[in-house]
Structure 1
Amino acid sequence: MRYWILILLVGWCCSVKAQHEKMSKEIMDVFHSISSDEIMEYVHELCKEEYNGRLAGTGEYMKCAFWCAEQLCDFGLEPAGDDGSYLQHFRMPTTSLIDCRLKKVGNEQEYVFPRDFYPGMNSDSGKVENAEVVYAGYGITAPEYGYDDYEGIDVKGKIVIIERGIPYRDKDEKKRFDLYMRYASESYKLPQALKKGAAAVLLVGKLAHTGIAFSKGMIYTHVDPSMVDELVAKAGYTRDGLKKQISEKQKPCSFNTGCRLNMDVVTRHYPYATTCNVIGVIKGVDTTSSIVLGAHLDHLGNNGLMFPGALDNASGVALQLAVAKALVASGIKPEKNIVFAFFGAEERGIKGAIHYLNHPTFPLDKTMCMLNIDMVGNGNGLSVWGAESFPAVAKIFAQVNDRWLHREFEVTPYERAVSYSQADGDEFSKRGIPALYIATTEELKPMYYHDPRDRAETLTPEIMEDAARMLFLALPEIVKIKGVLREK
């Protein structure tokens, strides 16, 4: 009798082992099916002219969102948006740019788009004629630090030049940055200039920026630093010299440049426009607990030039789509829900992530963590920012890389976001949900951030393939970790 029991046990063990090996082979077949070619097909689709730069609040963005939802449906993910759909709608006022002109009074020099300036993408319409131009440093009034760029100057009815960022000394960057963080955003600086009576603002740096909220009477544009050099030269300054002086002395240096400009901006504002997140889910054994993968679907639209947004963030969206498709194809039943969120309006002030957190599809107190996937298409190495503080997660990612990918790999300590959010994950962090950031290292090609040259050919497809493969193998193991993540 014992002999037959032993034979049955051996046979059962062999059967289980064979099933395990078969399942492993099936999973590895799916692993190897994740290809850079398919990921780049997604990138090329997202960068099409018909989506016109995917600006949240526009019809072109919605068309792209419908395409994304169709992919999730085709893959077999369950919808996790509004009313049984993949879409989660929210209000997103938007502004359409019609025209922008800048001309110097006196020699009637007309500045040229896009060489000299980018129009403000949420500027109000308005015409300012023969206005004096004032240099107002960083446009900051911080009485608690004894710093005021507007002290001693009158900007009423004038055009004000404002630098991006904050005044800090290189040797004291972290401390200075922390002190001035809430004053660093253009969303503070532009209303402050308007409050001081400025007729219009020239923001230094041709960086397209859609995160500045529309405000009635707020007229602005982004200008090239060479244009600022030309304007301050009449007063005997250079822009670099001014920035150095402000930084070293930690005192403002604001003055009337002696130049005058005509500025004419024509826009149309749509206060009741809407946009959406796209959300799908692979249900887990425990359907009340979740992990959220988030990649923002939107970009900067068109300000006269279309911004394709290949790296930022067609790369993250494409990678996330590849992972979703592979996980469904593998047949793996995860321990927790794996939520795939494609957020809208990240470039408009992280509005999509905020809306999700205010209207979560799954309980936030049972959301173990969020993995932020943004700008992952250029590099030779892989990194998970924040994972060092969660050793169990770091170990899973490292083991996958060591066994299957053999890339340079690193993790960094977790830093909880406390003030100005710069990514979707920061908002999760503020709500007490750990946010880890999938990143690439060792850039191999030039990076064109918020630039019309951010096109598909600037990406390195191989690193995207490996990042997707890493997530595919790591996610089912990560969701086996009990409860929510706790810092070690």
Structure 2
Amino acid sequence: MISSCFAGNTRGRRITMPSVSLPLNNFSKIFVFGFAVCLAAGCAPAEKPAATHAADNPFTEAGERAAATLNADEIIKHVKVLGSDEFEGRGPASRGDRLTQAYLIEELATAGYTPAGVNGTWLQPFDIVAIDSVAPGAWTFARADQQQDFTHREEYVAVSGVQADTARLENAEVVFVGYGIQAPEYDWDDFKGGDLTGKVLLMLNNDPEWDPELFAGDRRLYYGRWDYKFESAALQGAAGAIIIHTTASAGYPWQVVETGWTGEQFELPAAEKPRSQVEAWMTEEAAGKLVAMAGEDLPAMITAARSRDFEPVPLGVTTSLILNNTITGKETANVLGILPGSDPELAGEVVVLTAHHDHLGIGEPDETGDRIYNGAEDNGIGMGIVLAIANAYASMPVAPRRSMLMLFVAAEEQGLLGSRFYADNPTFPAGRIAANMNYDGGNIWGRTRDITFIGYGKSTLDSVVDLVAARQGRIVKPDQFPDRGYYYRSDQISFAKIGVPATYFDEGMDFIGRPADWGRQQIEEYEAVRYHQPSDEYDDSWNLEGAVEDVRLGFWVGLMIANADEMPAWTAGDEFEAARKAALEARME
């Protein structure tokens, strides 16, 4: 019941509470009637849905006072704790994970939020499976009288695709399958109906990016994601899959693959879907040597793959591999706190702010001997931002009209597991989630004239963000690294898949007082040196002036969504529009 979920101590905060009692899955007639009237009045999305309307003057004095509480110190104090060595890198199901959950609960309770997890708690626990695969020091490939060995970590990484004691390839032939994509809507099929059962598929990263009329041009789609590649290979019955890594196609250097795909890997318990035995990555140089065993040239093969007429290329190269796995069942949890809405007719709908609370834990040491992957930027600052915004909303004398759900999801680094679990088991049905705003990282380099809105052009959230940014004297830009597919790489995608308009804000790149390319240089230096490394630690050199502007923008956007008469909508024809329509229809049943 929403009323029982909302009950709790507000610790002196002056918050107007709604007088409603609604089962989460059995909505009252007022919501059904109001939605039906909206549809009859023509509120359904048109070619381009109407903008999300807020009050005549959304920038109220109370909002201004709340926004003013958002400052650098309010964010940094959380980063210093959550990114400290004491929290041991916040690995899933670890001591650091439990410390993180306890910290978030304490901060939400102090702010005046109430538990929004299961059975009246702050948590939504879920099971995960830890798979620790032992890969051989050398992976051998053979063709006729040739043999080529590739060194683990330096040239390849491989993990088990199955939750079993061993994952095995036995004399499996390697077949080059281009991008490994089947996309009928783009008239693209890299497999051409060939029988690939039991093969090892060698495939390119990314999706066809050279033609703006083909796929989405340089904007990466889900087809370009590594998780799609492995899913696609499994659907073909392949025994294994190898993705060829390049920094340009992945958006990060090989060292990120090396650290992320060695040691314990976490998954949700096995579902009834196809899986290949082995999922692997290989450096571009190593892949070149592999195809050369068949007399092929990798650049020429890549050129051939850039065509709808491409057909799979059997290499006549075979390989065997055994991964010995240690399988352990563990538990982690999402952390949820809610601020009840003040409008009885809208309090049963929520605006969800998310930040993942995990990182990589304790792993291989770097050159200094440091083994703790602190994750200060990824995602200590994201948690600090959401906690700061949560406090700002709770400080207002009258709460936003819709309820505000602060959701800190677990195990993002392992494949968005926490947000995927929440999407499959939402505490609010998708049709009652107005929007999701996700925070994954933040600006640590100073003020910018712009802000990056990942997901710009996909929904009516655009107009709200444009309005707030203009008031700050800034401009909104879409993803400034479109080839990296950021929209599909963090927790907002789990909400989008169930139809919820979802986005996240990233730092701008037009830094005030800096050369034109300075911002891009900082981001690329971070990704090359500190991303997913022990060196991702808080540093006193961080300049959060720009982050504060970004956070205040997010505060206003969330408030305007919460106070609007209508929920946001996807742009007509968007890939997630159909899921939204289904979610809205389900709330009327």
TM-score normalised over the length of structure 1: 0.74
- Please state whether the residue corresponding to 1:468 is helix, strand or coil: helix
1:382 — aligned with what?
Answer: 451
The answer to whether 1:397 aligns with 2:465 is: no
Any idea what the Cα deviations from partners look like across 1:445-468, whole Å, max 9, x if unmatched? Answer: 124286437724697633322222
Rounded Cα–Cα distance in structure 2 between residues aligned with 1:304 and 1:182: 30
1:326 — aligned with what?
Answer: 392
Rounded Cα–Cα distance in structure 1 between residues aligned with 2:171 and 2:419: 43
Amino acid at match of 2:403: N
Rounded Cα–Cα distance in structure 2 between residues aligned with 1:143 and 1:285: 47
In structure 2, relative to structure 1, the CA distance for the partners of 1:70 and 1:247 (3 Å cut) is same
Query: Equivalent of 2:292, from 214, 227, 233?
Result: 233
Higher helix share: 1
Rounded Cα–Cα distance in structure 2 between residues aligned with 1:357 and 1:283: 21
The answer to whether 1:120 aligns with 2:159 is: yes
Query: Equivalent of 2:243, from 155, 180, 203?
Result: 203
Rounded Cα–Cα distance in structure 2 between residues aligned with 1:436 and 1:195: 30
Note if contact 1:138-1:149 (Cα within 8 Å) is conserved in structure 2: no
Query: Equivalent of 2:137, from 101, 116, 131?
Result: 101
- Please state whether the residue corresponding to 2:334 is helix, strand or coil: strand
Note if contact 2:135-2:152 (Cα within 8 Å) is conserved in structure 1: no
Rounded Cα–Cα distance in structure 1 between residues aligned with 2:325 and 2:430: 39
Note if contact 1:228-1:239 (Cα within 8 Å) is conserved in structure 2: yes
- Please state whether the residue corresponding to 1:120 is helix, strand or coil: strand
Rounded Cα–Cα distance in structure 1 between residues aligned with 2:320 and 2:190: 27
- Please state whether the residue corresponding to 2:385 is helix, strand or coil: helix
Rounded Cα–Cα distance in structure 1 between residues aligned with 2:443 and 2:105: 22
**Within-5 A mapping of 1:335-350:** 335-350=401-416
- Please state whether the residue corresponding to 2:206 is helix, strand or coil: coil
Query: How many percent of aligned residue pairs carry the same amino acid?
Result: 22
- How far the C-alpha of 1:298 sits from its partner, in A, is 3.2
In structure 2, relative to structure 1, the CA distance for the partners of 1:140 and 1:24 (3 Å cut) is closer
- Please state whether the residue corresponding to 1:83 is helix, strand or coil: helix
In structure 2, relative to structure 1, the CA distance for the partners of 1:114 and 1:366 (3 Å cut) is same
Note if contact 2:377-2:538 (Cα within 8 Å) is conserved in structure 1: no
1:147 — aligned with what?
Answer: 189
- How far the C-alpha of 1:382 sits from its partner, in A, is 1.7
Rounded Cα–Cα distance in structure 1 between residues aligned with 2:151 and 2:489: 31
Any idea what the Cα deviations from partners look like across 1:271-323, whole Å, max 9, x if unmatched? Answer: x5333211112223123333221222234556747655444433322211122
In structure 2, relative to structure 1, the CA distance for the partners of 1:254 and 1:290 (3 Å cut) is same
2:500 — aligned with what?
Answer: 433
2:568 — aligned with what?
Answer: 485
Rounded Cα–Cα distance in structure 2 between residues aligned with 1:397 and 1:452: 35
- Please state whether the residue corresponding to 2:348 is helix, strand or coil: strand
Note if contact 1:141-1:149 (Cα within 8 Å) is conserved in structure 2: yes
- How far the C-alpha of 1:46 sits from its partner, in A, is 3.5
In structure 2, relative to structure 1, the CA distance for the partners of 1:356 and 1:310 (3 Å cut) is same
**Within-5 A mapping of 1:406-417:** 408-410=474-476
2:342 — aligned with what?
Answer: 285
Amino acid at match of 2:117: G
Note if contact 1:294-1:371 (Cα within 8 Å) is conserved in structure 2: yes
Rounded Cα–Cα distance in structure 2 between residues aligned with 1:167 and 1:477: 38
1:12 — aligned with what?
Answer: none
The answer to whether 1:244 aligns with 2:303 is: yes
Moved more, 180-189 or 436-445: 180-189
1:4 — aligned with what?
Answer: none
- Please state whether the residue corresponding to 2:472 is helix, strand or coil: helix
Note if contact 1:190-1:218 (Cα within 8 Å) is conserved in structure 2: no
Unaligned runs of 5+ in 2: 1-59, 246-253, 366-371, 480-486, 510-518, 572-589
Note if contact 1:366-1:483 (Cα within 8 Å) is conserved in structure 2: no
In structure 2, relative to structure 1, the CA distance for the partners of 1:113 and 1:323 (3 Å cut) is farther
Query: Equivalent of 1:66, from 85, 99, 102?
Result: 102
Any idea what the Cα deviations from partners look like across 1:144-199, whole Å, max 9, x if unmatched? Answer: 9573448778774x654332233564354436899x96755544543654576655
Any idea what the Cα deviations from partners look like across 1:348-399, whole Å, max 9, x if unmatched? Answer: 5544334434544446544332222233336633244448735762365235
Query: Equivalent of 2:72, from 11, 36, 43?
Result: 36
Any idea what the Cα deviations from partners look like across 1:63-107, whole Å, max 9, x if unmatched? Answer: 422332222223332221122221112233332345553244689
In structure 2, relative to structure 1, the CA distance for the partners of 1:194 and 1:295 (3 Å cut) is closer
Amino acid at match of 1:61: D
Note if contact 1:285-1:334 (Cα within 8 Å) is conserved in structure 2: yes
Say which one has the larger Rg. 1
2:127 — aligned with what?
Answer: 91
Rounded Cα–Cα distance in structure 2 between residues aligned with 1:117 and 1:456: 28
Unaligned runs of 5+ in 1: 1-22, 403-407, 414-419
Any idea what the Cα deviations from partners look like across 1:202-246, whole Å, max 9, x if unmatched? Answer: 332243466877677712332221211222223333433321221
Query: Equivalent of 1:255, from 309, 314, 318?
Result: 314
Rounded Cα–Cα distance in structure 2 between residues aligned with 1:36 and 1:188: 38
**Within-5 A mapping of 1:291-310:** 291-300=351-360, 304=364, 308-310=374-376
TM-score normalised over the length of structure 2: 0.63
1:166 — aligned with what?
Answer: 207
